[in-house]
Amino acid sequence: KNQVEQSPQSLIILEGKNCTLQCNYTVSPFSNLRWYKQDTGRGPVSLTIMTFSENTKSNRRYTATLDADTKQSSLHITASQLSDSASYICVVSALVAGNMLTFGGGTRLMVKP
Amino acid sequence: DTEVTQTPKHLVMGMTNKKSLKCEQHMGHRAMYWYKQKAKKPPELMFVYSYEKLSINESVPSRFSPECPNSSLLNLHLHALQPEDSALYLCASSQPGTGADYGYTFGSGTRLTVV
């Protein structure tokens, strides 16, 4: 069964600090992995997308890593801002017809002043 | 245009009402999706349309009726809903086909409350 596990479930950090979110997956055959940011009551917004051959991808203060051998990914947020407070969802796509996505449970991040 | 637009943003309806949620995209995507998301949970897939034809129905109750009138529009017709159907309803679009989902884009959602 395809699964995506995220940790921690929730995290509180002070403004300006860095943090790292984790994602482990057992999706096969693997197509790609995305990190989404979702504000409360809004739709998910894509931060990064990585395929099998990519190890690192950055988008402004967000840096995602992928280890396809251990089936692990991380999202590092640098110099956090209050606006980073949101849920961060790891989503893995299987290389099958229909592009079925498997969602992680998300990490709820709160950045405090 | 790289957006998926959903209307309305908020909807309150009674259990005997009939209402519709609308979704529109102009990215040329030929796959469109409806998801339901409860608070603090990941989105759950409801329906998938591929080339305007229903390809996946995840055993959704018949009080939810999807419609894809053309390649840019996706509707979700609601009738006789229950309070437990209150949730955030998300629309998404992408290109169909295996591994062709790099442009997978979500709308901002419709917050539905059933009273």
Of B42, B94, B107, the CB nearest to A103: B42
Look at residues A84, A48, A44 and name the one whose alpha carbon lies nearest to residue A65: A48
Give pLDDT, residue B75.
98
CA distance B41 to chain A (A): 6
Give pLDDT, residue B100.
63
Q: Are A25 and A90 in contact (CB under 8 A)?
A: yes
CA distance B110 to chain A (A): 8
Q: What is the rounded average pLDDT of the residues B71-97?
A: 94
Using DSSP, state whether B98 is helix, strand or coil.
coil
Query: Is the CB of residue B56 less than 8 Å away from at least one CB of chain A?
Result: yes
- Dump strand ranges (E) for A1-113: 4-7, 10-14, 19-25, 30-38, 45-51, 56-59, 62-67, 72-77, 86-94, 101-103, 107-112
Place of tokens 């709160």: A110
Tokens of A93: 């796509």
Low pLDDT (below 50) residues in chain A: none
Place of tokens 């909807």: B11
B27-62: per-residue pLDDT in tens? 999 999 999 999 999 999 999 999 999 998 999 999
Q: Does B42 sit within 8 Å of A104, measured CB to CB?
A: yes
Query: Is the CB of residue B21 less than 8 Å away from at least one CB of chain A?
Result: no
B86's enclosing H/E stretch is none
- Phi, psi dihedral angles at B83 (to 5 degrees): -55, -30
Give pLDDT, residue A35.
97
- Residue B99 — pLDDT band, cuts 50, 70, 90? low
Give pLDDT, residue A52.
86
Residues of chain B with C-beta less than 8 angstroms from the C-beta of A32: 99, 101-102
Query: Is the CB of residue A89 less than 8 Å away from at least one CB of chain B?
Result: yes
Give pLDDT, residue A109.
98
Q: What is the rounded average pLDDT of the residues B83-104?
A: 86
Percent of chain B residues past pLDDT 90, beyond the cut:
86
Q: Does A43 sit within 8 Å of B109, measured CB to CB?
A: yes
Give pLDDT, residue B98.
65
Look at residues B23, B47, B37 and name the one whose alpha carbon lies nearest to residue B89: B37
CA distance B73 to chain A (A): 18
Q: B75 pairs with which residues across the strands? A: B22, B67
Give pLDDT, residue A95.
83
Q: Are B36 and B86 in contact (CB under 8 A)?
A: no
Q: Are B5 and B94 in contact (CB under 8 A)?
A: no
